Amino acid sequence: MDFALTETQHLLQDTANRLVRERYGFEERKKILASPAGSSPELWASFAELGLLGIEIAERFGGSEGGFHDLAVVLDAFGRGLVAEPFVPTVVMGAGLISRAGSEAQKAAILPGVAAGTLKLALAYGERRSRYSLNHVETTAKADGDFYVIDGQKSVVLGGDAADQLIVSARTAGKATDPDGISLFLVERGAAGVAIRGYPTVDGTRAAEVTLTGVRVAKTALLGSEDQGLGLVDYAVDRGIAAMCNEALGVMAALNELTLEYLKTRVQFGRPIGKFQVLQHRMVDMEMALEQAKSMAILAAAHVKDGDPRSRAKAISAAKVQIGKSGQVVGRGAIQLHGGIGMTEEYIAAHFFKRLTAIEICFGDIDHHLARFARS
């Protein structure tokens, strides 16, 4: 048993924290989010230069072949800085899935680009009627000679508007909710019949509605085996959850620090408001919520590559439940303890709270993961 960070992890943590501190202040972030793309190509290029995009990618494809715990420290730093770049969709979910399921040719075509910062990915699995179930896929892919023809609509695709390539789940057999019969396809953003409508989400990150109309992709665009894609989507989404759990740690830690500072400096009735016991207890609850979350985020990271899907599901869902609950305690608590100033867009507390809210919703809320935990 060893919970200490490795030397590499310390290095990555310092690198990511410094980058966020120097290049991604609150005002800088505001400017980036207000730009048409809502993200920063310069920042992304810096991620690549510092090796953050290839942490897990094999050395032969330009990465450094690290583990998920290495990614986790970077995500924590990104949480502290509220980095709103499509890091999770591209690096954690997209590249992680290609590394796991891609053919040698697919890996060679995609992974070096991800590591170098020239290629972004998004996993287009959700649909308007699917809510959180991964097996609800109405989008279809029909074989046509050497091609598949894909038709359907994908909803709230995280990072979808920045992606150069989409990984699309589509039904090659069966009915809309069958677990079997789902396949994954690599689709170029510029392919004929692909329409991407990007928009900001409530926390300032970006997502897209993706409409696919008679999109023809070569047979070689199939990722993994035909009809057997659900397990891969499940894997990619679990990676996304583990990533956001670790990001949430950074968000909560920063928000707790901010709130604690406010309690010590805001004076009402002639003393710092942190002298009032009812506020002290709430602050303590927020700290405990963070510690509980930390334990489960570590657990999630440790189980991402668990070979037993049920044991993986159990750990990941447990972590998602705990992070959801802790996020509520910390987020709502921080706003209440700040009072009016916590309600404003000009102050960063509200932005931490909004990110925690989005993380709670992404990939399934508390009820969804309670049920999955109980089933697994």
Partner 1 sequence: MDLTYPDEAKSFADEVRAFVREKLPHAIRDKVMNGRELERDDNVAWQRILHARGWATPAWPAEYGGPGWTTLQRHMFAEILSEEGAPAFIPFGQEMLAPVLFAVGSREQQQHFLPRIATLEYWFCQGFSEPGAGSDLASLKTRAVLEGDQWVINGQKMWTSTAQNGTHIFLLARTDPAAPKPQMGISMFIFPLAVPGITVRPIITMDGEHHTNEVFFEDVRVPKDAIIGEPNKGWDYAKLLLGHERTTIARVGQSKRQLKRLKKIAGEEMVDGVPLLETPSFRDKVAALEIELMSLDLSVLRMIAGEGKNAPGNEANMVKIKGSEIQQRVTELLVEAVGPAALPYDRAAMHGAGSEDPIGPDYAGTLAASYFMTRVVTIYGGSNEIQRNILAKSLGL
Q: Which stretch binds partner 1 (CB under 8 A): 77-85, 160-168, 214-222, 330-338?
A: 330-338
Tokens standing for 53? 């995009």
Residue 220 sits in the site that holds partner 1 (CB under 8 A): no
Residue 339 sits in the site that holds partner 1 (CB under 8 A): yes
In the complex, the smallest distance separating the C-beta of residue 365 from partner 1, rounded to whole angstroms, is: 6
Residues 145-164 that bind partner 1 (CB under 8 A): 155-156
Please say which residue, 46 or 357, places its beta carbon nearer to partner 1.
357
Please say which residue, 10 or 129, places its beta carbon nearer to partner 1.
129
Cα→Cα distances 142→150, 194, 217, Å: 7, 16, 10
Please say which residue, 81 or 342, places its beta carbon nearer to partner 1.
342
- Are the C-beta atoms of 80 and 19 separated by less than 8 Å? no
In the complex, the smallest distance separating the C-beta of residue 325 from partner 1, rounded to whole angstroms, is: 13
Q: Comparing C-alpha atoms, which of 165, 160, 183, 161 is closest to residue 101?
A: 183
Q: What is the CA radius of gyration of the chain?
A: 21
Q: Which stretch binds partner 1 (CB under 8 A): 114-122, 179-187, 301-309, 352-360?
A: 352-360
Residue 288 sits in the site that holds partner 1 (CB under 8 A): no
Residue 279 sits in the site that holds partner 1 (CB under 8 A): yes
Please say which residue, 294 or 369, places its beta carbon nearer to partner 1.
369
Q: Indicate which single residue of 18, 128, 142, 375 sits in contact with partner 1 (rule: CB under 8 A).
A: 128
Residue 345 sits in the site that holds partner 1 (CB under 8 A): yes
Q: Indicate which single residue of 107, 312, 320, 354 sits in contact with partner 1 (rule: CB under 8 A).
A: 354
Using a CB cutoff of 8 Å and minimum separation of 24, what contacts does 311-319 make? 311/376, 312/238, 313/234, 313/238, 313/372, 313/373, 313/376, 314/373, 314/376, 316/238, 316/241, 316/242, 317/364, 317/369, 317/370, 317/372, 317/373, 317/376, 318/369, 318/373, 319/241, 319/242, 319/245
Tokens standing for 252? 């909560």
Angle at 243 between CA 238 and CA 244, to 5 degrees: 100
Residue 267 sits in the site that holds partner 1 (CB under 8 A): yes
Q: Say what angle helices 230-265 and 68-81 make with each other, to 10 degrees.
A: 40
Q: Indicate which single residue of 22, 37, 49, 199 sits in contact with partner 1 (rule: CB under 8 A).
A: 199
Residue 367 sits in the site that holds partner 1 (CB under 8 A): yes
Distance of alpha carbon 273 from the chain centroid? 36
Residue 131 sits in the site that holds partner 1 (CB under 8 A): yes
Residue 373 sits in the site that holds partner 1 (CB under 8 A): no
Cα→Cα distances 76→28, 189, 242, 362, Å: 19, 30, 11, 17
Residue 348 sits in the site that holds partner 1 (CB under 8 A): no
In the complex, the smallest distance separating the C-beta of residue 362 from partner 1, rounded to whole angstroms, is: 7
Residue 31 sits in the site that holds partner 1 (CB under 8 A): no
Q: What number of other Cβ atoms are within 10 A of residue 77's Cβ?
A: 26
Can you tell me the distance from the alpha carbon of 23 to that of 156, in angstroms, rounded to the nearest whole number? Answer: 28
DSSP 89: I
User: Which residues contribute to the site for partner 1 (CB under 8 A)?
Assistant: 126, 128-129, 131-133, 136, 155-156, 177, 199-202, 207, 209, 267-270, 273, 276, 278-279, 332, 335-336, 339-340, 342-346, 350-351, 353-354, 357-358, 361-362, 365, 367, 370-371
